Structure 1
């Protein structure tokens, strides 16, 4: 094993910047379910690894696999929103616009990437029909998806599409006039796409970064997401019925999904969704295994050398809390890859300081010293998630800081809250509910599994709901240093 001090880092917290992601990727059940066309809806907390799976599907190379990914950091939503249908149930207002976007992505794959086309006489006619439509309408076999809904674009159809409104509008329709006709347009495009898909190949259309610009109170945002989920399911099932291997994979934060309401949601959840979830030590993939793959990559003398956790962390001595270092670190994370990677990088940074060069492993002292930098990181992560949903959340945290303890009672919170004029108009119970939703606090639930009391955390159970009658609360340990809190028994 190489000297730990020679290592630069154990990876990045952001999938886009993580140079070890491809080499250390682990086959999470959610990834396998998507690749095998078992599930199309991949759910998970921010930072749980959804984007890692998204990037893995897009970057894998195979002569019989084709993928296209939509990532919406610069997508013209104002153009898409003009496609909302009227006179239909709210949850289906964007159903056909999402289906159109997906079908055009598939057409791009068939026309530009799938070298097996045309794979049959039947597919020859359909590929030709798709090419005529795409080129005549957008001027290219490979149009920019950001221009698909530009209002001044004019869609042009030839006889192969057999659209019922052709006799009225000639052979063309402007995109801004598309909504009344989009159902028939989609039906024609979908038929040609499904005929053209080679049954020996696999096709993936993936949607990520759907939480960008998310505002919980915006009904149009929820309607867009519901429309995408329903459109993905429709195409997923239509392809399965035709014996074609197509998956329209939607990556979505589980907390956002929990708040969506639409018909057949439970069927989608039970039959077509998979949760990206990591564990400390039991079931599925563990954070320890995640880090061991990274230790092996950066510390191993050869590609075959496996570096276990306790070869890097000295577990012969417990932390002062009588925990292993692994447990101590996990308790300060939201059980997300980015959190444990960040904590280990902070430990490495402390280890490299001259005062800590005596040990060949990470000891108690460097783990302890790493907590401050990690806690600041976790607080900054919280700001990214909560700020636009709870604008006054920093005032809520000031109340927590004023109490000064990891554990507190409802009475203590109410009393401290009442002394702050800046939040006097806000219900303290509602504030605790917001802090619970973002896992800043958990509440004590008497008589949990096994007969004893337990703390309920949203990050551990996305279905958990705040209990307004709770009397005892605990701040997540990861925020202890950043909020300058001390331990205190409830």
Structure 2
């Protein structure tokens, strides 16, 4: 590869062995990098073609069988950050090639939405088209009934093993529902409809109800306080690459109404944003802080729309643009463009974060 790079660059008229101290101009450096990358890409394509041919001809040879190759845990620290997104982009391209060329093989990457968005943003090139990737997506969602059944199975296995042969359900363990309050709905409302949230909340309920057959209302509330703070911490960890100060941004909504129109609290949000950014050290990897620095330099202090946009994308709040429309949530795959956020936009804080935000 080294020889190929030298040949490609030398062919463009550059002398890489300059010994008189003469330096390349910025334009020359950019051209060298471009030509070098072309060689690297061509070598990678050749090697990938060889790997695909190996899979097709020597390993996965029975075309009557469907083979599934799954790759998970790509959000963990398996590679340094500066290479992570280039590798993920390469994974996506490779998966698309294999799935197109070997019909009886399906490679499946398990990726969070935020990681996919970040990968495309960090590796985007002039020819990027998001539509050609969206056809590859299969969003995994859980219904309320599925989450309840999943917890019923966990409860049944746990209770059978420890106390009795008769299975119990989530509804039988939570406080008894009334005509005004269904505690199963209350419980599931405080998840982002993901198994990990439901399990995290339920485990805290069990800790607070140790030795009792049923979870009391008091134990449920105590568990919710812990769960809500842990859920906000976990969300902050998920988005740390884009918004290292996400918890601080969420806390700007502390003790505000659970739902509101932006114009009702816009001034208060702008004031709190100024206070947060004044005490936080600016780091270039925080997208919202970068925007704030640019706006403040231009004597602009209206960050309410930008803050709400970030909190919507990360799942802290849901939005609707006009009355009669249902509230949209990003964790359900729903989108609202930044340009559609206005003074009249209705904001609803997700119940999972009520206790963490003092609501």
Q: Give yes or no for TM over 0.5.
A: yes
Q: Cα distance 1:323–1:482, how it changes in 2: closer, same or farther (>3 A)? A: same
Question: Is the counterpart of residue 388 in structure 1 residue 264 in structure 2?
Answer: no
Cα distance in 1, alignment partners of residues 235 and 268 from structure 2: 22
Deviation of the 1:299 alpha carbon: 1.2
Deviation of 1:341 (Å): 0.7
Change (3 A) 1:443 1:268: closer
1:239–1:305 distance in 2 versus 1, CA, 3 Å: farther
CA distance in 1, matches of 2:100, 2:113: 23
Cα pair distance change 1:184/1:398, threshold 3 Å: closer
Match of 2:331 in 1: 459
Give the match for residue 300 of structure 1: 160
Closer, same or farther in 2 for the Cα pair 1:223/1:181, shift >3 Å? closer
**Higher helix proportion (structure 1 or 2):** 2
Q: What is the aligned partner in structure 2 of residue 27 from structure 1? A: none
Name which of 318, 342, 346 aligns with 1:442: 318
**Structure 2 residue 61 is the aligned partner of structure 1 residue 198:** yes
CA distance in 2, matches of 1:407, 1:463: 19
In structure 2, the partner of 1:411 is 263
TM-aligned CA deviation for residue 178 of structure 1: 6.7
Contact 2:320/2:346 (CA < 8 Å) preserved in 1? yes
1:207 corresponds to: 71
1:323 to 156, 168, 181: 181
Per the TM alignment, residue 432 of structure 1 is displaced from its structure 2 partner at its CA by: 1.3
Report whether the alignment pairs 1:364 with 2:223.
no
- Gaps spanning 5+ residues in structure 2: where? 10-38, 278-291
Query: Going by fraction, where is strand more abundant, 1 or 2?
Result: 1
State the TM-score, normalizing by the size of structure 1: 0.51
Name the CA distance, whole Å, in 1 between partners of 2:264 and 2:137.
Answer: 41
Q: 1:127-152 CA deviation, whole Å, 9 max, x = no partner?
A: xxxxxxxxxxxxxxxxxxxxxxxxxx
**How has the CA–CA distance of structure 1 residues 404 and 192 changed in structure 2, closer, same or farther, with 3 Å as cutoff?**
closer
SS at match of 2:110: strand
Deviations 1:392-431 (A, max 9, x none): 4344234212x53322331343211343443473622111
- Report which structure shows greater RCO (CA 8 Å, sep ≥6): 1
- Aligned partner of 1:334 in structure 2 is 192
Tell me, yes or no, if the aligned pair for 2:188 and 2:198 is still in contact at 8 Å. Answer: yes
* Corresponding residue to 1:433 among 301, 309, 312: 309
Matched, 1:278 2:136: no
What RMSD over aligned residues (CA atoms) do the two structures have, in Å? 3.5
Unaligned segments of structure 1, at least 5 residues: 1-82, 88-176, 486-490
Aligned to 2:341: 468
Deviations 1:76-103 (A, max 9, x none): xxxxxxx9xx99xxxxxxxxxxxxxxxx
Provide, for residues 35-87 of structure 1, a one-character-per-residue CA deviation record: whole Å limited to 9, x for no partner: xxxxxxxxxxxxxxxxxxxxxxxxxxxxxxxxxxxxxxxxxxxxxxxx9xx99
> TM-score, normalising length from structure 2?
0.68
1:25 matched residue in structure 2:
none
Inter-partner Cα distance in structure 2 for 1:415 and 1:265: 36
1:328 Cα deviation from its structure 2 partner: 0.4
Describe the superposition over 1:430-478 as per-residue Cα deviations: whole angstroms up to 9, x where unpaired.
111111111111223324xxxx343222122344445312433122111
Over 3 Å counting, the alpha-carbon distance change for 1:418 and 1:233 in structure 2 is closer
SS at match of 1:338: helix
Aligned residues: 287
Question: Does 1:230 find its partner at 2:83?
Answer: no
Residue pairs, 1:102-121, within 5 angstroms: none
1:249 corresponds to 2:108: yes
Q: Is the 8 A contact 2:171 2:183 kept in 1?
A: no
CA distance in 2, matches of 1:274, 1:481: 33
* Secondary structure of residue in 2 paired with 1:334: coil
**1:293-326 CA deviation, whole Å, 9 max, x = no partner?**
10121112699965333232344435xxx23111
- Counterparts of 2:321 and 2:256, CA distance in 1: 22
Residues 194 and 208 of structure 1: CA distance in aligned 2, closer, same or farther (over 3 Å): same
Give 2:284's aligned residue: none
Q: In the alignment, is the contact (CA less than 8 A) between 2:98 and 2:107 conserved in 1? A: yes
Give distance in 2, aligned partners of 1:468 and 1:228. Answer: 34
* Cα shift at 1:387: 3.1
